[in-house]
Amino acid sequence: MTNTRTAGEWNRRNRYLIHLKKLLKQLYLIEDKSSSDYKVLNAEIKGYLDAGLITRIASEKDLQKFIQQRSAHVTQTTLYGYLKTRIGVKFTAMVEDDVFSKSINIAKWNIYMTAIADCSLYVFSYLIAEKNLKENDCKEIYLDIIENEKENGLTDEIYQRAKQEFLNRYDKINFNKYYLENPFKESCLALYNWAPIADELKTLDKEIVLNSMRLKWNLKIEEFKKLTENLRFN
C-alpha cells in the first residue's frame, strides 16, 4: 500500500510539474509584464510554489542541483531535438550505429560541460547583482559538478578541457553584469559546433539551432527567478 500511494504522489507531482512548465512558457511569451494575463499566470505559478509543489532554492545544495539538472535537461532536449529534426525517420537507425552513437556521446558531454558553465555563471551573477549574495562559490560548485560526472562516464580529456575553459572564463567575468549580457551564448554555440551533423547542413540551420537553446534557457531563467523570488542575502 505504501508503494502504491508513493507512486500516486509522484505521478500527481509530475503532472503538476508538466503543467507548471507550460505556465512558465506562456509567462515568458507575454511581452507586457503589466497585463492582466501576465498577472494571472504569475499568481497561478506562485500558488504552485506556495503549495510546495515545486521546491524553492534555499541552500547551496539546492543551487547545485538546479544547475546540474537544468543544464542536463537543456543539453539533451536541444541536442536530440535537433538531430531528430535534421535526420528525420532515419534517426533511430542512426542512433543504433556505433560510430554515430559515439559522436553523439562526445557532443553531449562537451555541450553539457559548457551548459553547466553558463548556468553556474548566470546563477551566481544574478544572485550577486539582484540578491546581494556576498560569497561567490561559483567555481567550487562548477568543479564539484563536473568532478561528480566522472562517475557517469565523463572522460578525463573532456573534463580537463572543460575545467580549463571554465577557469579562463571565470577570471574574466564581471559577476555584476554577466547575467544581463547574453549569458548562455557559449552553450548555444557549443550545441551548434558539436552537433554531429555535416557542416554544410549545419550552416543552413545555425539560427534555428541557436534559438532552440536560447528558448530553453529562457524558460530556465523564468523558473530560477520564481524559485529565488523571496531569497535575500544580508
Say how far apart CA 78 and CA 11 lie, in whole Å: 25
pLDDT tens digits for range 78-132: 999 999 988 888 877 777 888 888 999 999 999 999 999 999 999 999 999 999 8
Residue 48 — pLDDT band, cuts 50, 70, 90? Answer: low
CB distance 88 to 168 below 8 Å: no
Q: Which residue ranges make up each domain of the chain? A: 1-54, 58-227
CA distance linking residue 203 with residue 206, whole number of Å: 5
pLDDT range class, residue 234, cuts 50, 70, 90 = low
